[in-house]
Chain A
Amino acid sequence: MAPPPLLEVKNLRVEFPTRRGTLLALDDISFDIAPGEVLGVVGESGAGKSLTGAAIIGLLDPPGRIASGEIRLAGQRIDNLPYEKMRQLRGRRIGAIFQDPLTSLNPLYTIGRQLVETIQTHLPVDAGEARARAIRLLQETGIPAAEQRIDQYPHQFSGGMRQRVVIALALAAEPQLIVADEPTTALDVSIQAQIIALLKRLCREHGAAIMLVTHDMGVIAETCDRVAVLYAGRVAEIGPVQDVIHRPRHPYTAGLMGSIPAMDEDRERLLQIDGAMPRLNAIPAGCAFNPRCPQVMARCRSERPELVDAGATRAACWLVHEAVSS
C-alpha cells in the first residue's frame, strides 16, 4: 500500500469577490503529494498555478479566499487554521521559495540576521547555535566563504547567490514540504541548472517534498516525478512526468507540448493552439478548453468533464471518457 500523502488538496475552490460578481480562480482542484515527492504544476499565465501555491501556504491576497474544499498536511487540515497557527506552521512545516530572490529578502538586514531569525522563530536553539546552523545551511547551498558572507546584505549577492540564500531560508526549519513558485524564472540558464540541481539535492537530503510551480516544461521534465497541467483554474491532466510529456491524453497538454520548440528535432512549424486562455469572468461553459480545442464535440460545450483514469495519467476530457468507457 502506498504511503499516506503528505499533502492532500481536495476540491479546492478559490474565489475573488468583486463588484462585478465573483470570479472563480481555482475550480475544484484536487491532487496530492507523497513524502519526498516532487510534483510539478504547469500552465500558462492565469491558469492558477501560483494561486494554488499561495492557497497552500495560506498567503492568498485578499479579497481572494478559499470558498470550499480542503487542504491537509500529513492528515491535519490547514486551510481553516487561525492566522497565528498558520504563521507558526509556515516556515516550520512548509517552506516557500518565490520567483524573485531580490524581493523575497529584506534589503535592510544582513542575510545572517534573516536566517537566524527564521531559525529561532521555529526551533528552540540559542543565538550561537542558530548562527552556526545558518552558516552550515549557506555552505550546503554552495555559497563560498559562508562565514564572511553571512554578515553581508542582499544587495552584495548576485541573483543566483540570492536565490541560494532564499533556498537556505526555506530549508532553515527543516520543513516537510517546499512550495517553490517559479524559483528559476528570473535567472539565466546557466544559473538555472545550478539552482535546480541544488534544490533537488537538498530536498532529497532533508527528505522534503517539493511542489514546483513553473511554466517551463524543460525544468519540469528534468526535476519532477509527477506533473499537474492546469488550465483556467482546473486540472486538465495529472500523471507521471514521462507519460504526460510523451503520451499526453488531454488535447491541451498535447498542444502545449507541441508548441515548445525542441532541441533535438527539426520542425517546419510549431504546433499552435489558436486563441488564448479565457479570462476569469468569461470561462466558457462545459470544458474550459472547448473554444480552442481542435477535437471539440457537442458535449464539450455543455458538460464539464471530470478527471478520469486514462492509463498512467488522469485527464479531464470527454474524448478520454469515451475511450475509457468503450
Chain B
Amino acid sequence: MIPAAADMKALVQVEDLAKTFDVSGPWLNRVVERKPRQFVHAVDGVSFSIPKGQTLALVGESGCGKSTVARLLVGLYAPTRGSVHFGGHDTAKLKGAELRSLRRRMQMIFQDPYASLNPRWKVLDIVGEPLREHGLAQGGDALRDQVGELLRSVGLAAADCVKFPHQFSGGQRQRISIARALATEPEFLVCDEPTSALDVSVQAQVLNIMQDLQHRQGLTYLFISHNLAVVRHVADEVGVMYLGRLVEQAPKKSLFSQPRHPYTRMLLDAIPDIHMSGRARTPVQGEVPNPLNPPQGCAFHPRCPHANARCSSERPALRTIAGIRVACHAVEEGRI
C-alpha cells in the first residue's frame, strides 16, 4: 500500500525506488580469489510524495542513501527498480523533447559550492548555460539581462556576472548555484546539503533566501541534510533514512515533538544544541553497520534498545500509524 498514491496534488511521487551499485572486484580477481559479486543497496524501496509548494527533508547519517535519492530524482542515476512521477508523468518513460522539458522543471543545488561551479567560466556563462541550453534567452543582451535579474533575486549584483567563481566567498558561490538552478524557472528544487559547507552566519543568509524564493515562486523542495536543526527550520515534512530505507516519515511538528522510531529518537537525543548546556546527550551505542553486509531483519536492530527476536529476523515494513509512517516492529506492537 502506498498512501501517497491517491494524493493527486503531489508534484513529485516516488514509488519503491531502489538503486543498487555493483562494487565487485575485477573479473579476474573474482575468478582467482573465488569471490562472489558484491552489491551495495544504496537505496532500497523508498516511497514518498511531495505536495506542490512544500518541503520534504531527508535526514540520516553518512551512507544512508539520502544523496543517492536526490540524484535518482533528477535523473543523474537511473533507478534499479521503482519509479519517479513528476507532475503526473513517469520520468522513466519520457524521451527526447519531453524529457528535456521535464529537466527544465527540476533543478539541483549541490553541497560543495567550490566544486560545483566551473572555475574557468564567468558567472554569466555559468548562470546563462541553462538558459542557452533550453533556448530560453534570445540573443546576448537578453541573456545578460536575465542573468542579471537572477543574480539580483539571490542578493548579488548584476555587475557580478563578469567575475569568476574564485572572486566570491563560499556563501556567494552557493547563491550563484541557486541562481543557476533558478534560471529555467523550475518548480522543483533538489537541494543536497546546500549549507553544510558554509559557516552558520552565511548558512542563515542562504536559508533565508531559499525560504523567500519558496514564498515568492511557490517552489517545491527536496532538502537533504544531516543537520536536524536546519531541517527543523526549513521542512514541512521530514523523512528519516537508515541504510537505504525510510524508517520514519512524519510532519515536522510530530517528528520533533514525538519521534516514534528508535533511530529517530536516537538522532534527536544525539544532537548538541546551544540551549541544552549542561544536559548530557545520550550517547548512542554502536555505529552504522557496513552497507555491504547489512544486518538481517531490521537494519537498526544491533543498536536498538528495544530490539527483540522478531527484529533480528523479520524486516519491518513502513506502515502508517496515526498519520505517521514508521517501519518498526516495536512501535507497531505498541511496545514503545
A188 to B202, CA, bound (A): 22
A160 to B286, CA, bound (A): 10
In the complex, what residues of B have CB within 8 A of residue A263's CB?
A: 228-229, 232, 256, 271, 273, 275-276
Q: Which residue of the partner chain, among B172, B201, B207, B233, contacts A273 with CB atoms under 8 Å?
A: B201
Q: Are A193 and B201 in contact (CB under 8 A)?
A: no
* Given known contacts A272-B201, A276-B171, A261 and B232 CB-to-CB distance under 8 angstroms: yes
Chain A contact patch, size range: 35 or more
Q: Are B232 and A44 in contact (CB under 8 A)?
A: no
B280 CB within 8 Å of chain A: yes
Q: Are B274 and A221 in contact (CB under 8 A)?
A: yes
B62 CB within 8 Å of chain A: yes
B307 CB within 8 Å of chain A: no
Q: Are B201 and A255 in contact (CB under 8 A)?
A: yes
Stretch at the interface among A28-36, A56-64, A67-75, A211-219: A211-219
* Given known contacts A219-B272, A269-B211, A193 and B200 CB-to-CB distance under 8 angstroms: no
In the complex, what residues of B have CB within 8 A of residue A216's CB?
A: 272
* Given known contacts A44-B200, A215-B200, A255-B201, A245 and B288 CB-to-CB distance under 8 angstroms: no
A267 to B233, CA, bound (A): 7
Q: Are A192 and B228 in contact (CB under 8 A)?
A: no
In the complex, what residues of A have CB within 8 A of residue B266's CB?
A: 190
Task: State how many angstroms separate the Cβ of B289 from the closest Cβ of chain A.
Answer: 10
In the complex, what residues of B have CB within 8 A of residue A259's CB?
A: 200-201, 203-204
In the complex, what residues of A have CB within 8 A of residue B227's CB?
A: 261
B24 CB within 8 Å of chain A: no
B208 CB within 8 Å of chain A: yes
Q: Are A190 and B270 in contact (CB under 8 A)?
A: yes
* Given known contacts A263-B271, A272-B205, A276-B172, A197 and B232 CB-to-CB distance under 8 angstroms: no
The listed residue with most A CB atoms (<10 A of its CB), out of B200, B207, B281, is B200
Chain B window 182-193, contacts with chain A (Cβ cutoff 8 Å), 1 for yes, 0 for no: 000000000000
B90 CB within 8 Å of chain A: no
A222 CB within 8 Å of chain B: yes
In the complex, what residues of B have CB within 8 A of residue A215's CB?
A: 199-200
Chain A window 217-241, contacts with chain B (Cβ cutoff 8 Å), 1 for yes, 0 for no: 1111110000000000000000001
In the complex, what residues of B have CB within 8 A of residue A152's CB?
A: none
Q: Which residue of the partner chain, among B211, B271, B277, contacts A242 with CB atoms under 8 Å?
A: B277
Q: Are B283 and A194 in contact (CB under 8 A)?
A: yes
Q: Which residue of A lies closest to B234 (CB)?
A: A261
The listed residue with most B CB atoms (<10 A of its CB), out of A44, A196, A220, A261, is A261
Q: Are B275 and A197 in contact (CB under 8 A)?
A: no
- Interface residues, chain A, CB within 8 Å of chain B? 44-45, 158, 160-161, 188-194, 196-197, 215-222, 241-242, 245, 255-264, 267, 269-274, 276-277
